[in-house]
C-alpha cells in the first residue's frame, strides 16, 4: 500500500493594503472668521454633504464643532491649527 505524503502549501504572503488617503481642507467659514485646516479621509463631496446637514441643525458655526461633528463619520478627522512663529 502506497503512503501518501501531505505537502503543506506555503502561506500566501499577506497582501499589502494601500496606505490611507487623507484629504486636507482649509476651513474658512467659521462665524468667528477664524481660519483653520483639517485633515480627513472624507472626500470633498462628502464634506459638503455633511456641512449642509450641519448648517441646518446648528445656528452658530464653529470650526472646532464642525470637526467634532465630522468625527461621527470619520474617526481620523482632526483639526490642524496654524499659528504664527515669531523670533
Task: Name which residue leads in pLDDT, 65 or 1.
Answer: 65
Q: In angstroms, rounded to a whole number, what is the distance separating the alpha carbons of residues 24 and 63?
A: 14
User: In what order do the strands lie in the sheet containing 78-80?
Assistant: 23-27, 36-40, 78-80
What mean pLDDT value characterizes the chain? 80
- The alpha carbon of 11 is separated from its chain's Cα centroid by a whole number of angstroms, namely 33
Confidence of residue 13 (pLDDT cuts 50, 70, 90): low
Q: What is the pTM of this model?
A: 0.65
Amino acid at each position: 500500500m502506497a503512503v501518501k505524503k501531505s505537502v503543506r502549501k506555503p502561506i500566501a504572503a499577506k497582501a499589502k493594503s494601500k496606505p490611507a488617503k487623507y484629504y486636507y481642507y482649509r476651513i474658512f467659514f467659521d462665524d468667528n472668521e477664524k481660519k483653520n485646516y483639517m485633515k480627513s479621509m472624507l472626500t470633498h463631496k462628502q464634506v459638503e454633504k455633511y456641512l449642509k446637514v450641519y448648517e441646518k441643525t446648528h445656528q452658530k458655526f464653529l470650526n472646532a464643532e464642525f470637526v467634532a461633528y465630522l468625527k461621527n463619520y470619520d474617526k481620523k478627522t482632526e483639526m490642524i491649527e496654524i499659528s504664527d512663529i515669531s523670533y
